[in-house]
Amino acid sequence: MAKPEIKTLLEAVRYFSDPDRCLEYLIAQRWPDGKVTCPTCGSHEVHFIATRRVWRCKAKHPRQQFSIKIGTIFEDSPLGFDKWLPAIWLITSARNGISSYELHRSLGVSQKSAWFMLHRIRLAMRTNSFEKMSGQVEVDETFIGGKARFQHEAKRKHLGRGSVGKAAVMGLLERTSPERHSVVRAKVVENVRRKTLAPEVRANVSAGVQVFTDALASYADLDSDYVHQVINHAVTYVEGNVHTNGIENFWSLLKRSLRGTYVSVEPFHLFRYLDEQALRFNTREEGDGERFEKVLGQVSGRRLTYRDLTGQTVIPC
């Protein structure tokens, strides 16, 4: 089956309104060679039951029957792909994200279901890369949380102002090179001390490259491994090519999305929103259809239950 070229939300809604067409599309996405594989034993000896749109593995083992949803972010969801696939299109094409209330109104599902769907899709938007950054890399940190003036007076007195009570986030941006445009990585960190930030830089950036930071003392010992250049924001923001404006731009986009679209994000879920915004930033030169297919290609092997999402069980970040 040749993949259709879908360019707009309207085309996506029309195309994925047919369950059989959705199934054909997802089979081609998950098994490009056309050989459906049993998710339990890995066997290709499977029989398709057309009346129920499921397969049955010929090998004897538990869960012989399986659907296209098994082993993906869609597993155990009662919602059809006529809702799931437009939902993926909406979140990947929206420049500032899409709230659960907006998705609930657009798809006709409950707000609770829409919220759960969005977090499952964000799991598919996570891009784990073991490749270290090179060239010129900007490193910076920021704090995410409510502004003190919007807090209740009692809470302001208890927490104080500034970064107190906020989540610390670290970001690394590899500047544009002849090979590709700038890309970013962002991560929630415990604090902004040297013992926390410096190891993250060394884990993500190749030794010997140019690293640009602000004057935070936590970056002081990077000189031994990198060509470390510092911009003192108390004096100026740019000195030639020494600046952190690229990663600051990413912080601006992130906070605009959090404040304008999502309004309130719990620290427990913040890392998922970082994954969403990082993928959107790193694929900004791709079309909506390309970004949609990229995320759809990452739905397998990822599972998020409601119990995990709401913190009833402990899961690794």
11 burial level (CB within 10 Å; 0-12, 13-18, 19+): middle
pLDDT value at position 165? 73
Rg (CA), the chain: 22
Tens digit of each residue's pLDDT (9 = 90 or more) over 129-173 = 789 999 999 999 999 986 554 455 554 444 444 556 789 999 999
Mean pLDDT over 5-10 rounds to 88
Q: Are 15 and 27 in contact (CB under 8 A)?
A: no
d(CA 54, CA 72): 15
Q: Are 90 and 97 in contact (CB under 8 A)?
A: no
DSSP 3-state helix, strand, coil percentages of the chain (rounded to 5)? 40, 15, 45
Comparing 257 with 161, the larger pLDDT belongs to 257
d(CA 236, CA 242): 10
pLDDT value at position 154? 55
Q: Partners of 205 in the beta sheet? A: 133
**Paired tokens of 291:** 């970004």
pLDDT value at position 112? 96
Strands (E), 40-158: 46-49, 54-57, 65-66, 136-144
Tens digit of each residue's pLDDT (9 = 90 or more) over 183-230 = 999 999 999 999 999 999 999 999 999 999 999 999 999 999 999 999
How many residues make up the chain in this entry? 317
d(CA 234, CA 102): 41
**Paired tokens of 272:** 């998922």
33 burial level (CB within 10 Å; 0-12, 13-18, 19+): exposed
d(CA 91, CA 114): 11
pLDDT value at position 315? 46
d(CA 151, CA 201): 34
Fold category of 136-265 in CATH? Nucleotidyltransferase; domain 5 (3.30.420)
Annotated domain spans of the chain: 9-127+299-309, 136-265
The distance in angstroms from the start CA to the end CA of the chain is: 37
pLDDT value at position 152? 56
Tens digit of each residue's pLDDT (9 = 90 or more) over 262-279 = 988 888 999 999 999 999
* Backbone φ, ψ for residue 90 (5° rounding): -65, -45
Q: Over 90: is that where the pLDDT of 128 sits?
A: no
pLDDT value at position 130? 82
Residue type, 262: Y
Tens digit of each residue's pLDDT (9 = 90 or more) over 11-25 = 999 999 999 999 999
**Paired tokens of 99:** 């709230």
Q: Over 60: is that where the pLDDT of 123 sits?
A: yes
Q: Are 221 and 194 in contact (CB under 8 A)?
A: yes
Comparing 314 with 120, the larger pLDDT belongs to 120
Tens digit of each residue's pLDDT (9 = 90 or more) over 52-104 = 999 999 999 999 999 999 999 999 999 999 999 999 999 999 989 999 999 99
